Chains A and B, each alone.
Chain A
């Protein structure tokens, strides 16, 4: 169990740029060259206008918690020693709703609507995950240690 690796995403060609940027601690997503829609999940076509053109546009990293849940059981050995851990959905300012974890706050203090900002966690040389921590006076005052 001690050598257990965390579950990692597979990097497909569509997702390669996303992870290339997160390695540099930048959160970028596909933005449609024609209509400006931010495309997530990543795709070959814009779901709004069907344009194939997109650029990897830098996101502000700011968002709000859309929902969260607390896992009390590990469904992968990696999480056994991390129980209970939170999972969350964050609405980015630019539109997408992304799966993530909230860091820098106790599980019982997470709230829907809470303002959060992106933080980067280097998991391996290849994979850097985007997580979110509370933003603004409330969050920071509540959690000075983080």
Chain B
């Protein structure tokens, strides 16, 4: 692998997770400490070698965390705690090590269910009450409060446009629970059937209980190094082979297929965004991808991403996933850890950790055979193609 080539400029060399659980009696900082220690051990690096840090705002500021973790960093930053920042954090780390601003960058996030609950249940922190709508276009005065309302609206429109019965969506949580049943870390491991799905209560109809992410505590840490150093680490490096950034625009709204569900203006309604940059950088096509880890706070995101990232044509994903295609042993395993729906909600950081581990081939029972190219996707366009060594 030529390190000077952009598609191999950086690699993940260490991955660590804390325990994941509901209402754990520990704070996010403790969980982050455990995740860091595990990632460090996984990488074979000494803590003195970690000189960069990017953290989400889930529990510590980027100036406090180095004190607690016992690291001296020469480059650090932090982002908002929204999960859509997680892939961006990793891309950012890759650029930092490539630019030589740091050698080994710790990317870390911690979540406590208390924080999640206050943010979503009451539309807390005033976020949902911003003029013009909250970060997910909440409009509390009309009862659009839970972030899941937006994917519900987008999915209803999707089913209308393409003539689907909404209950077909059950194939997503059923498949992911099957993956989670093979993952000892997952919060929910009991398999469910389509019948269980259909019997579950509606939360925001047409979405049912199983279409929503788990609310839980946990932390994940990943260490990113420049490709020329990565080879010296304990495990084979997993390269960030293709990257694509977060997109935005006049018609862009989160939790929808691009431009489809909840556009706010009439400029290019129902137009389709083309996600090509990540494939062009990696030099591969969607058909070459072995496993996809899709950011899934709500089941419809899986449907929308499969189309937006070219795994199947627009309007076909809901039919395409039926019959086990995204389940363990299927043509395209999706969310092999169980995703937010079953393993737990860790802001997509658990998807990134899983992608690295799948590309290393170390996932035990849930390992997809011969997984070398593993892709992470998020509705707003963030995507990383991981290439195993």
Binding site for B on A (CB under 8 A): 6-12, 14-15, 38, 40-42, 47-48, 66-73, 75-76, 79, 82, 84-85, 87-89, 91, 95-97, 99-101, 112-113, 123, 127, 129
Q: Does B267 contact A (CB under 8 A)?
A: yes
Q: How many CB-defined contacts (below 8 Å) exist between A and B?
A: 122
18 contacts between A and B (CB under 8 A): A7-B145, A9-B129, A9-B139, A41-B264, A67-B153, A69-B205, A72-B201, A72-B205, A73-B203, A73-B204, A76-B122, A85-B143, A87-B139, A87-B143, A87-B149, A96-B266, A99-B142, A129-B141
How far is it, in angstroms, between the C-alpha of A41 and the C-alpha of B264 when the chains are bound? 7
Beyond the given pairs A14-B131, A69-B149, A70-B205, 18 more chain A to chain B contacts, judged by CB atoms under 8 angstroms and listed by A's residue number, are A14-B132, A42-B132, A66-B157, A67-B157, A67-B160, A68-B153, A69-B156, A69-B206, A71-B149, A71-B205, A73-B146, A75-B146, A76-B140, A84-B205, A87-B139, A99-B144, A123-B141, A127-B141
Which residues of B346-387 have CB atoms within 8 Å of chain A's CB atoms?
none
The residue on B at minimum CB distance from A130 is B142
- Within 8 Å CB of A40, what residues of B? 264-265
- Within 8 Å CB of B146, what residues of A? 71, 73, 75
Q: Does B80 contact A (CB under 8 A)?
A: no
Query: CB < 8 Å: which of B123, B139, B204 contacts A72?
Result: B204
Task: Check A12–B142 contact: CB distance below 8 A.
Answer: no
- Within 8 Å CB of B122, what residues of A? 75-76
How far is it, in angstroms, between the C-alpha of A14 and the C-alpha of B157 when the chains are bound? 30
With A40-B264, A69-B153, A75-B123 as contacts: A7 and B160 at CB distance below 8 Å: no
- Within 8 Å CB of B262, what residues of A? 67, 89, 97
Task: Check A101–B153 contact: CB distance below 8 A.
Answer: no
The residue on A at minimum CB distance from B147 is A75
The residue on B at minimum CB distance from A42 is B132
- Within 8 Å CB of A82, what residues of B? 143
Query: CB < 8 Å: which of B137, B202, B203, B207 contacts A99?
Result: B137
With A66-B157, A67-B160 as contacts: A97 and B205 at CB distance below 8 Å: no
- Within 8 Å CB of B202, what residues of A? 70, 72, 84
How far is it, in angstroms, between the C-alpha of A100 and the C-alpha of B143 when the chains are bound? 9
How far is it, in angstroms, between the C-alpha of A99 and the C-alpha of B152 when the chains are bound? 13
Interface size on B, residues (CB 8 A): 41
Q: Does B154 contact A (CB under 8 A)?
A: yes
How far is it, in angstroms, between the C-alpha of A100 and the C-alpha of B139 when the chains are bound? 8
How far is it, in angstroms, between the C-alpha of A84 and the C-alpha of B160 when the chains are bound? 21
What's the minimum C-beta distance from B158 to chain A, rounded to whole angstroms? 9
How far is it, in angstroms, between the C-alpha of A112 and the C-alpha of B154 when the chains are bound? 12
What's the minimum C-beta distance from A46 to chain B, rounded to whole angstroms? 11
Q: Does B250 contact A (CB under 8 A)?
A: yes
How far is it, in angstroms, between the C-alpha of A133 and the C-alpha of B143 when the chains are bound? 17
Task: Check B141–A6 contact: CB distance below 8 A.
Answer: yes
Which residues of B74-104 have CB atoms within 8 Å of chain A's CB atoms?
none
What's the minimum C-beta distance from A63 to chain B, rounded to whole angstroms? 11
Binding site for A on B (CB under 8 A): 120-123, 129-133, 137, 139-146, 149, 152-154, 156-157, 160, 201-207, 250, 261-267, 269
- Within 8 Å CB of A101, what residues of B? 142-143
What's the minimum C-beta distance from A125 to chain B, rounded to whole angstroms? 15
How far is it, in angstroms, between the C-alpha of A90 and the C-alpha of B245 when the chains are bound? 31
How far is it, in angstroms, between the C-alpha of A40 and the C-alpha of B269 when the chains are bound? 14
With A7-B123, A69-B153 as contacts: A91 and B206 at CB distance below 8 Å: no
Task: Check A96–B265 contact: CB distance below 8 A.
Answer: yes
What's the minimum C-beta distance from B198 to chain A, rounded to whole angstroms? 15
What's the minimum C-beta distance from A59 to chain B, rounded to whole angstroms? 13
- Within 8 Å CB of B266, what residues of A? 38, 91, 95-97
Task: Check A67–B154 contact: CB distance below 8 A.
Answer: yes
- Within 8 Å CB of A70, what residues of B? 202, 204-205
- Within 8 Å CB of B250, what residues of A? 47
With A7-B123, A7-B129, A72-B202 as contacts: A129 and B265 at CB distance below 8 Å: no
